[in-house]
Amino acid sequence: MRNKGVVGRAALMFVLVMTYLFQGTSVDAAEGQTAFSMKPSTTAVKKGGSFIVSIDGTNLKELYAYEVIVELSSGVTFDRGTDNLPGGSSASYLDNDMLRYGSTKFGTAAGENGSRTLARFSFTANAEGTASIKLVRVKTLDPALNPTVHEVNQTITVQVAPDNDSGNGNGNGNGNGNGNGNGNGNGNGTGSGTGNGNNPGKPRNVSEADGKGQVESGRIAIAANGPVQAPLALLQSWAKQNPAAVLALQAGHVTYSLPLSELSAPELLAQLGADAAKAEIRITVAEAAPEQKNQAERSAANVGSKLLMDPVEFEVTAVMPDGRSLPLTKFATYVPRSFELGSDVDPGQTTGVYIDPVTGELLPVPTVFRIVDGKTVADLYRKGNSAYTLVTTDKHFADLEGHWSRTTVETMANKLLVRGTSELSFEPDKPVTRAEFATLLMRVLALNPVTGKGAFSDVDGQWYGTAVQSAADAGLVTGYPDGSFRPDAHITRQELAVVLKRAASYANKPIANADRSQTVLPFIDRTQIADWAMDDIADIAAVGIMEGDARNAFHPEARTTRAEAAVVLKRLLLHVKMFSE
3-state SS record for 446-508: CCCCCCCCCCCCCCCCCCCHHHHHHHHHCCCCCCCCCCCCCCCCECEHHHHHHHHHHHHHHCC
Q: 204-393 has which fold? A: Chondroitinase Ac; Chain A, domain 3 (2.60.220)
Residues 447-460 pLDDT 10s: 999 876 778 989 88
Centroid of chain to Cα 571: 24
- Comparing 310 with 168, the larger pLDDT belongs to 310
Highest averaged pLDDT of the listed ranges 33-42, 68-77, 364-373: 364-373
CA 401 → CA 395, 413, 470, 515, distances in Å? 13, 15, 34, 41
Amino acid at 207: S
* Domain boundary assignment for the chain: 4-161, 204-393, 398-575
Predicted TM-score (pTM) of this structure = 0.72
Residues 282-320 pLDDT 10s: 999 999 988 889 999 999 999 999 999 999 999 999 998
4-161: CATH architecture: Sandwich (2.60)
- In contact, 122 and 40? CB cutoff 8 Å: no
- Comparing 389 with 117, the larger pLDDT belongs to 389
Amino acid at 37: S
**What per-residue confidence (pLDDT) applies to 517?**
64
